[in-house]
Structure 1
Amino acid sequence: MAESALETRRGPADLVLCPGSSHALSTAEPPASQALRELRRLVTDDGRVLLGEGLWERTPTEAEPAGRWPGASRRR
């Protein structure tokens, strides 16, 4: 089942996956450290968190992020 780590009341789990979406778990810049804290609370003491980050191969145009994720914009 897929759901947001920010809204879930599930856990703890042995494994939590976050493939390329730390920005959805944090308002910090860069978002990874805050996102990891959110994910860490969802795993058992000996559990694992897998955080994968997406990368643009080039700077996206203004329209590209919103084309993939409605309401998204390019961060600088």
Structure 2
Amino acid sequence: MSGTFTAKEVAEHNTVDNGLYIIIDNNVYSVASFVDEHPGGSKILKRVGGKDASKQFWKYHNESVLKKYSEKLKVGTLKEEAKL
């Protein structure tokens, strides 16, 4: 599954039951199936669910982590929205 999402659509996926989407560098990932596997615990993923987690992600991970899990977790990209 690969699609384009608005920030509002991602925000609606802010719980495990809703798919728990996060944004990292304009890519959208569904981490609901990864919550129990996350080495840092589920709490942090639940806290950033529905939001841009780029800053938090890069603080603790390097690019190899994103490459390792990207194929499994990526569901799409963030749609560019017009700025008013």
Would the TM-score normalized by the shorter structure come out above 0.5? no
The structure with more radius of gyration: 1
TM-score by length of 1: 0.28
Higher relative contact order (CA 8 A, sep 6+): 2
TM-score by length of 2: 0.26
Larger fraction in helix: 2
